[in-house]
Amino acid sequence: MTDLWRLPATELAHLIRTRKVSAREAAEAALQRLNAVNPQINAIVAHRPDWVLEQADQVDKLVARGEDPGPLAGVPVTVKINTDQAGFATTNGTRLQENLVAHANSPAVDNLLRAGAVLLGRSNAPTFALRWFTSNLVHGATRNPRNPSLTPGGSSGGAAAAVAAGIGHLALGTDIGGSIRYPAYACGIHGLRPTLGRVPAYNASSPERAIGAQLMSSTGPIGRTIEDLRVGLLAMSARDLRDPWWVPAPLEGPAMPLHAAICLRPGGLQIAKEVEAALLDAGRRLADAGWKVEEIEDTPMIREAAEVQERLWLGDGFAALVEAVARDGDPGAHAVVEASRAKVATLPADVISRELVRRTTLTRQWRELLTRYPVLLLPVSAELPFPDDLDLQGEEGFRRVWEAQLPMRALPAMGLPGLAVSTGLVGSVPVGVQIVAAHYREDLCLLAGKAIEARGTPPSPIDPVL
């Protein structure tokens, strides 16, 4: 039989439910793979093998009794270090939280366990989840398994690097400005940022989040196949009373025309020729699958949406962030703070209320667009995955990164879903596209993503390149 760690999550769960393999065998294979390759990439920064095996044994007991353990029966899944998992520190990559041990799981983690998943380990992220690169002073740097000179992405960089290298079959990530979509893009796999309110979120270990983070942050799956993302979303999105933003929206919406738009240069963004080629190729793939595909010149006020995202993020609690970053001392987080100071200095006192009003206008306009075109293809980033730590290469390097990430920064302002689909490699460098749909229409993102995936994606999992 193929090494169990290589299998898609859905195939592994089927084998476990039908007793062709045991959850313990899958857990042992996952632990062996972690031990074999994690020292090279530093994607998983905490795990407890005995507890992993105990979880697997519980799944096997349910199967032996003839009970259904759930859609992720025995599937090893990793959890990001900014998300509460009972018994582990929610370090968020900062020395200030090294001893902040969670006493309860976040809702999405509980949902994964109820779906039969086996929690394999904790995935690395940048300090305070602030960067599209993954390093911190607590756990060190994570390396991209496809090309160690490239960023693995951030902030869910450890999650994506682990999945690409075969450490776990799915990963839980979070996204407020591309933190699921960009790591998936950089590591040559897929990642889904769900709609606001789709997946319940709450960290009992930490203070209540500011309103901007509540409205824009999203928890979702990172995986190697689109079908795995679908099942991961199904598992994560179960109801939990702890999140008042959770919405009981169906996972499958009404049928829509197979009609997609492509926008190559949203907001006048200048994109690399390889990124343009990937978008046009994705459009051809959809057309081959029976979709009507049109190219449009622009999207509604995407730069204004990115500005709203930025102001809702920076306009509440920036002084506290500056103080925390200074106490931690991480150079990456420091670079983000320093680049943001001038922007924050000019914000009006009523910035949050102003931006919430602007958010309403923007959301209305995007809803109108996504009614005309049920699916929209955008760049994930204007560039191929960056050289690692490009944002630390002076003011010009930081500006280059910030501008390139425009298509990812804008969507959270409206709480929209977005799916990063990996479509190929340029040498050893991954490339892909971003699929956008209306609120609670992740099913349309996944439908288009599956058609694109069916016509070729980079091989995965892979052995890390040294």
| Cα 112 from Cα 236, distance rounded (Å) | 6
| Domain boundaries of the chain, sorted by first residue | 4-453
Provide the pairing of β-strand 118-123 with 76-80: parallel
pLDDT of residue 2: 72
Out of 156, 179, 217, 218, pick the active-site residue.
179
Q: Does 149 qualify as catalytic in the annotation?
A: no
Q: Does 80 qualify as catalytic in the annotation?
A: yes
Cβ–Cβ < 8 Å for 423, 281: yes
Q: What is the mean pLDDT of each run of 10 residues along the chain (466 residues)?
A: 91 98 98 98 98 98 97 99 98 98 98 98 98 98 98 98 98 98 99 98 97 97 99 98 98 98 98 98 98 98 98 95 98 97 95 98 98 98 98 97 98 98 98 98 99 98 96
pLDDT of residue 1: 56
Out of 22, 80, 218, 237, pick the active-site residue.
80
- The β-bridge partners of 292 are 259
Please name which of 30, 18, 429, 437 lies closest in space to residue 257, comparing C-alpha atoms: 437
Q: Does 179 qualify as catalytic in the annotation?
A: yes
| Cα 150 from Cα 219, distance rounded (Å) | 25
Locate 345 and state its tokens. Answer: 């200095």
Query: Given strand 76-80, what is the order of strands in its sheet?
Result: 44-46, 118-123, 76-80, 170-175, 218-223, 190-193, 418-426, 429-436, 375-378, 259-262, 292-295
* CATH code of the domain occupying 4-453: 3.90.1300.10
Out of 155, 205, 237, 460, pick the active-site residue.
155
Question: How much is the pTM?
Answer: 0.98
